Structure 1
Amino acid sequence: MRLISRSFRPNGRIPGRCAFAVRSPKGHVRLSANRNPHLAWSGAPVGTRSFVLTCIDADAPTRPDDVNQEGREVPADLPRAPFVHWLMVDIPPEVTELAEGSCSDGVVARGKTAPPGPAGARQGMNDYTGWFQSDATMAGTYLGYDGPCPPWNDARIHHYTFEVLATDLERCPVEGPFTLADLRAALDGHVLARASLVGRYSLNPRIRIR
């Protein structure tokens, strides 16, 4: 399988309009357009009954000590962990493209309750749910796509892997606001093929991504 995007090139910079936040001279960052990027895939094997889509940041800090703290920097060698930005299941086999902004267009405080997407598809919970749990103005259940917002003082560039999986499932056996762990368990033995595309992003003013 092959996965491409007209929003960014492979291993290139994800545009600010597809991020949760962009750099700002005041307060370091401001909320952005938060549009899902364009994605298109091809080469699914015979027997594909549905597609699954994920987007995961592999570079989330494992300790919050230095995150977004004035006069400090998140060290590049700090151990990292995945941060989920998008989970979607039950994408019909005839759907092989998502337009930019078709599933997310703007930041929704407390999270999108019914994110748009292909007819029949369902979207799971991303990790902004946990990130904002102690924020009185933003706390909620975040479903669907919410784009990059790495720490503005992180010394490491973050890598976001978009992945499409062809499955033999007409309906993925996950329910409600499902998580990545739920999805991985449900897909065990049902993935026929996969394709991925990596984009990079940083809010650190010292870092320039080409």
Structure 2
Amino acid sequence: MSGFTLESDAFNPGGIIPKKHGYKNGNISPPLRIRGVPENTVSLSLIMDDPDAMGAVGKVWVHWVLWNIPPTVTEFKENSIPSDCLEGKTDFGEIGYGGPAPPDKEHTYIFKLYALDQKLDVDNDSTKKQIEEGMDGHIIAQTKLEGKYAP
């Protein structure tokens, strides 16, 4: 399971996320590459959030929620999502990608990828909380990719 990874051609792990991926600067989702999906995976889920927002807005801010991603998917092209997956509601109140938008200083954004032993039976406009509840007890493996973004 240690070979399960999430990478991006747009930024290195822990590196700076390019401005065009920011909410107010184009809001283009970054390209992502998935490797080493465990054999018994039925679906993948991706959650992007900003734990640094806790200090600025009092909560972890949710930027992107996707689920029922086929386990055969190896990449997300820039500004697109794989077919047959579902997107949920962000803390911007919108469905789909909501790029980094730190209100105060540089924040760290975490893209968390989960390999699941089932597809999730949740509505298309579900929230991170609903996805996490659906994933409970069904996570085979997980990995993450972190990037930084400043206003």
TM norm structure 1: 0.67
User: For residue 119 of structure 1, what is the aligned residue in structure 2?
Assistant: 83
Give the share of equivalent positions with the same residue, in percent.
Answer: 36
Q: Which residue type is aligned with residue 81 of structure 1?
A: K
User: For residue 195 of structure 1, what is the aligned residue in structure 2?
Assistant: 143
> Cα distance 1:173–1:159, how it changes in 2: closer, same or farther (>3 A)?
same
User: For residue 19 of structure 2, what is the aligned residue in structure 1?
Assistant: 16
How many pairs does the alignment contain?
148
Counterpart check, 1:93 vs 2:71: yes
SS of the equivalent of 1:128 reads coil
Are the aligned partners of 2:121 and 2:134 in contact in 1 as well (CA < 8 Å)?
A: yes
User: For residue 174 of structure 1, what is the aligned residue in structure 2?
Assistant: 122
Spell out, residue by residue over 1:60-98, the C-alpha distance to the aligned partner (whole angstroms, 9 max, x if none): 14566xxxxxxxxxxxxxxx5210000000111111200
SS of the equivalent of 1:186 reads helix
User: For residue 71 of structure 1, what is the aligned residue in structure 2?
Assistant: none
| Structure 1 runs of 4+ with >3 Å offset | 61-64
User: For residue 46 of structure 1, what is the aligned residue in structure 2?
Assistant: 39
Alpha-carbon distance in structure 1 between the residues aligned to 2:75 and 2:56? 37
Alpha-carbon distance in structure 2 between the residues aligned to 1:12 and 1:93? 27
Alpha-carbon distance in structure 1 between the residues aligned to 2:95 and 2:86? 10
CA RMSD of aligned residues (A): 1.4
SS of the equivalent of 1:161 reads strand
Q: Which runs of 5+ in 2 are unaligned?
A: none
Q: Which has the larger radius of gyration?
A: 1
User: For residue 53 of structure 2, what is the aligned residue in structure 1?
Assistant: 60
Choose which of 164, 172, 185 in structure 1 pairs with 2:113: 164
Q: Which residue type is aligned with residue 39 of structure 2?
A: V
Spell out, residue by residue over 1:12-68, the C-alpha distance to the aligned partner (whole angstroms, 9 max, x if none): 1110111112xxxxxxxxxx211100111111112101110110011114566xxxx
Q: Which runs of 5+ in 1 are unaligned?
A: 22-31, 65-79, 103-116, 130-141, 204-210
Compute the displacement of 1:189 (Å): 0.7
Are the aligned partners of 2:34 and 2:73 in contact in 1 as well (CA < 8 Å)?
A: no
